[in-house]
Amino acid sequence: MAIPAFGKAYADEILLPAGAAYVGLSFFVAFMLNMLPLTGWVLMIRPDFVAVLLLYWAIQHPRKVGFTPIFFIGLAMDVTDGSLFGQHALAYCVLMAAGVAWHRRVSLFGIQGQMLHVLGMLLVAQLIVLAVAKVAGNAFPGWWYFLPSLSGCLIWPVVCQIVTSPLRPRVNSEEL
């Protein structure tokens, strides 16, 4: 079963170049989404929007993101989340490296294959954070801890569509 709207189209598309301002804006929006004051089960299943967006840029446009800005975004995320300083920074750097290292491989797949890859990468990043937290003496919070990875993988097609759409060249059907 293939979802028609997505499919392998990405690999063949010619997109407009993404400006640094556009990349920055997308991260700003994702950061704001992460800061939403959610509670209860919504918070439990909330995907890490910054992580998913980071994977999008690392996989689709690996030259557009660098480690240094990602590291600082991670630190800012740590402050707003009240987590240990460097926890998100570490996770984002790992995600970034995984995305860039496998960007050719992942973009060969259809959207479902991409989602599986994204799920794997998000899970590995969460496992690393969990390991660090364990060493720092925290208890395992429960299996729901991994739900954001699952929801992150589920929103992958949506994120791809939304972030790519302004980069598609406008086709004027009236023009000859």
Partner 1 sequence: MEYSPPPFFKRGPNLVTRLTLFSLLSLVLLFADARFQYMDDIRGVVGVILYPFQEIVHTPARIGRGMMNYVSLQSTLRTENTRLREEAFVNAGLLQKQQALVAENENLRELLNLRPRFEPSSQVASILFAARDPFVRQVVVDKGATDGVMRGAPVIDTLGLIGQVHRVYPWASEVALITDREQVVPVQVVRNGLRAVIFGLGYDGALEVRFMPVNADIEKGDLLVTSGIDGLYPSGLPVAFVDSVERNAAYPFARITCRPASGVGSHSHVMVLGSTESYPERPIAPDQAETDRRERN
> Which residues make up the interface to partner 1 (CB under 8 A)?
31-32, 34-39, 43, 46, 67, 71, 74-76, 79-87, 89-90, 93-94, 96-97, 100-101, 132-133, 136-139, 141-142, 145
Query: Could you tell me which of 1, 29, 58, 10 has the C-alpha nearest to residue 161?
Result: 10
3-state secondary structure string, 104-154?
HHHHHCCHHHHHHHHHHHHHHHHHHHHHHHHHCCCCCCCHHHHHHHHHHHH
Q: Name the residue type at position 97.
A: A
Nearest approach in angstroms of CB 159 to partner 1 is 19
Q: Please, which residue, 3 or 150, has the CB nearer to partner 1?
A: 150
Q: Please, which residue, 60 or 164, has the CB nearer to partner 1?
A: 60
Nearest approach in angstroms of CB 129 to partner 1 is 9
Q: Please, which residue, 138 or 161, has the CB nearer to partner 1?
A: 138
Q: Please, which residue, 2 or 38, has the CB nearer to partner 1?
A: 38
Nearest approach in angstroms of CB 41 to partner 1 is 12
Q: How many CB atoms lie within 10 A of CB 111?
A: 19
Nearest approach in angstroms of CB 106 to partner 1 is 15
Q: Please, which residue, 45 or 119, has the CB nearer to partner 1?
A: 45
As a whole number of angstroms, the distance between CA 130 and CA 9 comes to: 36
Question: Are 76 and 31 spatial neighbours (Cβ–Cβ below 8 Å)?
Answer: yes
Nearest approach in angstroms of CB 69 to partner 1 is 11
